[in-house]
Structure 1
Amino acid sequence: MGDNGRVSHWSAPVAAAPVDADVVVPGSKSLTNRALPLAALADGPSRLTGTLRSRDTDLMIGALRSVGARVEGPAGDLHPDDTDLTITPGPLRGGDVECGLAGTVMRFVPPIAALASGPSTFDGDLAARIRPQSTVLDALRALGAEIDGERLPFTVSGTGSLRGGRVEMDASASSQFVSGLLLSAARFDEGVDLVHVGASPVPSGPHIEMTLAMLRESGVTVEQPTPSSWRVAPGPIAAVDRVLEPDLSNATPFLAAAAVTGGTVRVPHWPATTTQPGDAIRDILRAMGASVTLEIADGADHGTLVVVGPSRLSAVHLDLSAVGELTPTVAALCALADGPSRLTGIAHLRGHETDRLAALAAELGAVGCGVTELDDGLEITPAPLRGAPWRAYADHRMATAGAIVGLVVPGVEVDDIGCTSKTLPGFTTMWADMLTGRG
């Protein structure tokens, strides 16, 4: 099966020479899956340009359609390759919501379903049924929602409105719990006054900043009185036409390819300023010895990011608590560095699509790298690497980490490259084009 299938064995290609390619990256999943719910709750139709179309974003589209929103392409009917979309809110109703493995769907849509008239049933892939969910469901119960279940599958019985008000939650496991409530909170009768009460800070802070910025763009009054509390006032959500940035996290495997092969990769349309956590890859690659330049014309809001790999990657000690999604890419780079690296602040990755810390330790270990799991991260000690099967665990970022290692280690066999369709359909074609300079 190809990239659009759920399972596909893939022999990771070895780079015969330093890569030299331009890579155009589709729209941001994080921005897309925030813009869609905001548009579905808005006071009129919205247009989204450059929308990512992937499994996760299509699941979000399907979820919002099932609870009453209309989503159309330029010609009216929605086609799989339409990236310019019009979202027209409708009366919210109950429906069947398929979450797949999309954390944003299982955490962002239940608050919308609580505003609907009628019951909404949520379910997803088998692996999704073990992902943390009670945090957001218990918070919704405290705000007045009726919910049957603690994790997938569960049912939200909407009554057409939600009281809202003050609520405490422990969001130590995922920033999505916070974003999920904030995105819908303006539609609650009393808005929301949300307080994080966990012993650990909320991880992936930049994702919450992204949510806050998009709410403000939509005319919502939102405050952050303390680093661990947020307040959203009740009121309308304005319809906003948005042009979505390329997905910077999805760009990172291609930039890593330049770093590990000593080559050059150019990514156009890189934003000059952004709320995307993936932008942190620039400083990480510099710390590992790569040349990183954002070529941008005076007055422009985006340019071309150029990464040139070093002759040898430097080891690093990094706190990735704010950018945990980059861990698989960075771990693959560390396995090819000139000494031991330490990645910390990422205990929450044990609750992602898979236990990413255990998965990285297992797969990097299988190709010969020394890896020790820490309480909150990984210690990675490079060693001569060998080809071996590489399990993706149905996790798109594990699959692309295997592709990075495979550039310089013959015989890396990724068992499920099709899972990259979760956020980046066509990954193998883009990878092959990069290696031949056709990107």
Structure 2
Amino acid sequence: MQVPGSKSITARALFLAAAARGTTVLRKPLLSDDTEGFAEGLVALGYRVDRRPDVWTIEGLPEGPPVGEAEVFCRDGATTARFLPALVAAGKGVFRFDASAQMRRRPLGPLTRALRELGVDLTHEGQEGHHPLTVRANGIKGGHITLDAGLSSQFLTALLLVGPLTGEGLQITVTDLVSAPYVEITLAMMRRFGVEVRREGDTFFVPPQQYIAADYAIEPDASTASYPLAAAALTGNSVTIPGLGSSSLQGDVRFAEVLARMGVAVEMTSDSVTVTGTHRLRGLTVNMRDISDTVPTLAAIAPFADGPVRIEDVYNTRIKECDRLDACAENLRRLGVPVSTGRDWIEIHPAQPHAAEIACHGDHRIAMSFSVTGLLTPGITLDEPGCVKKTFPGFHEALANLRAAWL
């Protein structure tokens, strides 16, 4: 099954392309609400972005946005809302950012505090630490900062990405870090665009150095791949995802390892992963701190395991598009499944789900995950099926085609 391009890689590539002098070509970028919003944010900032279905071309400018004043609406996109304020801070001008009500609820504070420590003049127009935000940019000198990235690795990624654009470079000491594999994606992509970050323990040393424009292919989205992989595991069928494997940049490819622990047959090559269901799912306890975007996927198939499924160390899922722990628990209970939660964990007990309407809370991952539950539970409906447009506009058709191919 073909999976759309990675949202995380597309967003980072757009930042790097805008920051690199010259023309960058992105091949097979994700076409979704989030990435379109990021690209339109760059256009609002004056960058030249040519978008064709499979190829996007961006004219970069290391000095910062070509315009001196702009307003950017970030939609629901966390990468847009967190990366672009860092990008403009390295330039000169006045830039105002706002976002959807959903994104306004999500935190910015650790990032904006760090930018202020670096001398950036910025103002939260409403609630402190949240959008809307105005940046009065005059470049970033650089220096040493301490950052808490325990709520989102995107705060660290934003600072790493902007580091080469500062006058003296950055030294970033991290006191806590969640979703560490996403930071590895950032470092690998910065390397591909010509900048090597040195890490010593909890400190990252980012040199002041010019990015080099690149011709860059976007790999499929590993978080999105979790849905067909889970579908195969649940129904006893087989699916292969080309373009994702042991050499993937994305940590979420390790969701396949979780399925293997549950007794599912998994075959992984350097550039593909195949899952074959065995008509049995074992219960397990699993720490998903580093692959937390796949928590709803596991929660959605957990009722069919032969023992409890306990997912631990995932507090950061409470500040995603919605509180995903509570959303998973709410929907499992709607389906008649026994479930309990704590601050950073959820435990799901075996049960045969019954028909119910799923409350998506505007969250694409809740909608896609419980659509997989519906493969073995007739009568499941979604209150907001269209919210999948955030990362996979064609999801429902793709799942239906996959199901038809298995019949």
TM-score, normalised by the number of residues in structure 1: 0.88
Structure 2: how far apart are the matches of 1:120 and 1:213?
29
C-alpha deviation, 1:306, in angstroms: 2.0
Q: Say which structure, 1 or 2, has more relative contact order (CA 8 Å, 6+ apart).
A: 1
- Number of the residue aligned with 1:284: 258
TM-score, normalised by the number of residues in structure 2: 0.95
C-alpha deviation, 1:68, in angstroms: 2.4
**What is the count of residue pairs matched by the alignment?**
399
1:253 aligns with one of 211, 227, 233 = 227
Structure 1 position 436 matched with structure 2 position 407:
no
Could you tell me the percent identity over the aligned residues?
Answer: 35
List alignment gaps of at least 5 residues for structure 1: 1-22, 73-77
Structure 2: how far apart are the matches of 1:205 and 1:240?
25
- Number of the residue aligned with 1:216: 191
Report which of the two has the higher share of helix. Answer: 2
Alignment of 1:36-435 (within 5 A): 36-72=14-50, 78-79=51-52, 82-90=53-61, 92=65, 93=67, 94-149=69-124, 150-159=129-138, 161-197=139-175, 201-226=176-201, 228-294=202-268, 296=269, 302-303=271-272, 305-435=273-403
C-alpha deviation, 1:50, in angstroms: 1.0
Worse overlay, 271-280 or 99-108: 271-280
- Number of the residue aligned with 1:10: none
Q: Are 1:147 and 1:155, in contact at CA under 8 Å, matched by a contact in 2?
A: yes
Q: Are 1:203 and 1:348, in contact at CA under 8 Å, matched by a contact in 2?
A: yes
Q: CA RMSD in A?
A: 1.5
C-alpha deviation, 1:438, in angstroms: 8.8
- Evaluate the alpha carbon distance shift between residue 351 and residue 95 of structure 1 in structure 2; reply closer, same or farther with a 3 A threshold: same
Q: Partner amino acid for 2:209?
A: G
C-alpha deviation, 1:249, in angstroms: 1.2
Q: Are 1:280 and 1:323, in contact at CA under 8 Å, matched by a contact in 2?
A: yes
Q: Are 2:229 and 2:256, in contact at CA under 8 Å, matched by a contact in 1?
A: no
Structure 2: how far apart are the matches of 1:312 and 1:221?
45
Secondary structure of the residue that 1:170 maps to in structure 2? strand
C-alpha deviation, 1:175, in angstroms: 0.4
Worse overlay, 47-56 or 94-103: 94-103
Structure 1: how far apart are the matches of 2:297 and 2:211?
36
Q: Partner amino acid for 2:404?
A: T
Structure 2: how far apart are the matches of 1:421 and 1:164?
38
Q: Are 2:142 and 2:169, in contact at CA under 8 Å, matched by a contact in 1?
A: yes
Structure 1 position 24 matched with structure 2 position 32:
no
Q: Are 2:311 and 2:347, in contact at CA under 8 Å, matched by a contact in 1?
A: yes
- Evaluate the alpha carbon distance shift between residue 414 and residue 156 of structure 1 in structure 2; reply closer, same or farther with a 3 A threshold: same
Q: Are 1:245 and 1:271, in contact at CA under 8 Å, matched by a contact in 2?
A: no
C-alpha deviation, 1:272, in angstroms: 4.0
C-alpha deviation, 1:99, in angstroms: 1.2
Q: Are 1:314 and 1:338, in contact at CA under 8 Å, matched by a contact in 2?
A: yes
Structure 2: how far apart are the matches of 1:35 and 1:351?
24
Structure 1: how far apart are the matches of 2:197 and 2:358?
44
C-alpha deviation, 1:351, in angstroms: 0.8
Structure 2: how far apart are the matches of 1:39 and 1:438?
41
Q: Are 1:316 and 1:334, in contact at CA under 8 Å, matched by a contact in 2?
A: no
Q: Partner amino acid for 2:24?
A: S
C-alpha deviation, 1:337, in angstroms: 0.8
Q: Partner amino acid for 1:207?
A: Y
Secondary structure of the residue that 1:26 maps to in structure 2? coil
